[in-house]
Amino acid sequence: MSARTNHERLVALEKQMEDAAEAMDFEKAAALRNEILRVKGEGQGEDGEPLVGQPPPGAMGLGTQIPVRQPPKGWVKPKKPDFLTGRKPKG
């Protein structure tokens, strides 16, 4: 998605959240708030862990504020190919 599309979606979600709060439908407003946070990358996953976390200062270089993304549960790093023999790894 482009930044413009994301911005338009966030504006629409915020308007829906405000309308739901005015209508006293707080459950819908809370669900929309969570969706807004998810789109912004500030929400929490199913396990309560943040979707994107900030590394400790200096972990990714001095002065950087690059968010660290965690791989999904059960993800296994693929094996590297053997460039000397040109064969694919077994398994």
pLDDT in tens, 24-72: 999 999 889 888 887 777 766 666 666 655 555 555 555 566 666 777 8
For the cut 80, the answer to whether the pLDDT of residue 20 exceeds it is: yes
- Phi–psi pair at 23, nearest 5 degrees: -85, 5
Nearest to residue 32, comparing CAs of 44, 48, 14, 56?
14
For range 17-28, the mean pLDDT: 92
Residue spans of the domains in the chain: they are 3-69
pTM of this prediction?
A: 0.48
For the cut 70, the answer to whether the pLDDT of residue 17 exceeds it is: yes
Question: 17, 33 in Cβ contact below 8 A?
Answer: yes
